[in-house]
Amino acid sequence: MAKISVIVPVYNSEKFLEKCLNSIINQTFKDIEIICIDDGSSDKSLNILKSFETKDKRIRILTQKNMGPSCARNKGLEIATGEYVGFVDSDDWIDLDFYEKLYNTAKKYNADIAVGGIKRLKSYKWKYHLKIEKEEFTDDTNKKFILCDVPDKCYPVNKIYKLVKLKQFNIFFEPNVYFEDRYFTAQALVYLNSLVTVPNVYYNYWTNPNSIVKTKSEKKVEDSIYTKEKMMKFLHDNNIHIIHEIKKFKFFGLTYLKIKYYRDKKEIKIFNTIKITV
């Protein structure tokens, strides 16, 4: 049994897949299994996966007809054997010490979830989308949401989770729905007991204008409303007090001031670098 199962849903990612897989197979943490699910790709993605499989025996390839990332991730969860499980999208990549730092910190605190930072590349410029500045452990559910900046950033990919806990509470991704990350992340933060933040390590993604989320459709608008309402009802039913309102102030397209109102406090960010909590 591997210490971490890494699940990679793949769909028409030939331009980015090698960079993604190289960042996983070259992790400083070696005790991983890499489960790649080809979701009916029509490009050379499956060929790339097979070439990597010959180089690294930790890679397992599954194929399915195009059913979306939720079904691909769920298929990976069904066969994963790791103590912890993580997700990497096939057009993203991770720091080479990403899983080493997350796993070691999770074990240090016996945490059910370990969380790293997120960096986004857009127009050749890096932006810290979630910057974690210190190691912090909590088993308080509301605090878990604040530390992960949820619901503003409902990412499942910058975390590792105890696999047995996900299965205990039957936490999977809803099929055939866009923005499925929201409800999965909310359930994980509520049902898994404890969480620890891990500074100075990042999950990296770039804004792909051709990605599933970025391309627009009526269904995506409907699913966005549906998943947000479903998540908010779940949080309300579980008495989770999260962000009530976010206000952004911009000048020439640059956000210079962001104010988040929580139930009992206010967080002010100036140019996304100076943070004041009152």
Tell me the per-residue pLDDT of 262-274, one tens digit each, with 9 for 90 and over: 555 566 777 766 6
Mean pLDDT of 151-161: 93
Q: Cα 76–158–79 angle (5° rounding)?
A: 10
Claim to verify: residue 139 and residue 249 sit in the same structural domain: no
Residue 133: its pLDDT value, please?
93
CATH number at residue 40: 3.90.550.10
Percentage of residues of the chain with pLDDT beyond 70:
88
Confidence of residue 239 (pLDDT cuts 50, 70, 90): confident
Rounded Cα distance between 77 and 132, Å, is 27
Q: In residues, how long is the chain?
A: 278
Q: What is the Cα–Cα distance from 57 to 78, expressed in whole angstroms?
A: 20
Both 277 and 208 in one domain: the answer is no
Is the same domain home to 185 and 249?
Answer: no
In this structure, the answer to whether residues 255 and 183 fall within a common structural domain is no
Question: 191 and 92 share a domain?
Answer: yes
Does residue 258 sit in the same domain as residue 122?
Answer: no
Mean pLDDT confidence for 34-53:
98
pLDDT band at 241 (very low <50, low <70, confident <90, very high): confident
The Cα–Cα gap between 113 and 169 comes to: 14
Specify whether 221 is located in the same domain as 268. no
Which range, 48-52, 151-155, 211-215, is most confident? 48-52
Domain check: are 67 and 188 in the same one?
A: yes
Tokens representing 155 are: 């990412």
Among all chains, which residue has been given the structure tokens 């897989």?
A: 21
Q: For residue 206, is pLDDT > 60?
A: yes
The pTM of the full predicted model, rounded to 2 decimals, is: 0.86
One domain, residues 124 and 238:
yes
pLDDT digits (tens, 9 = 90+) for 209-220: 555 555 678 899
* 110 and 172 share one domain: yes
Cβ distance 157 to 89 under 8 Å?
Answer: yes
Is 84's pLDDT higher than 90?
Answer: yes
Count of CA atoms in the C-beta half-sphere (13 A) of 132: 26
Residue 46 and residue 77 in one domain: yes
Give the closest residue to 37 by CA, choosing from 3, 8, 12, 58. 8
Question: What is the domain extent for residue 196?
Answer: 4-242
pLDDT at 144 exceeding the cut of 80: yes
The tally of domains found in the chain comes to 2
Looking only at the bridges linking them, the beta strands covering 136-138 and 195-206 are antiparallel
C-alpha 267/C-alpha 111 separation (Å) is: 26
Q: Say how far apart CA 76 and CA 165 lie, in whole Å.
A: 16
Judgement on whether residues 153 and 62 belong to the same structural domain of the protein: yes
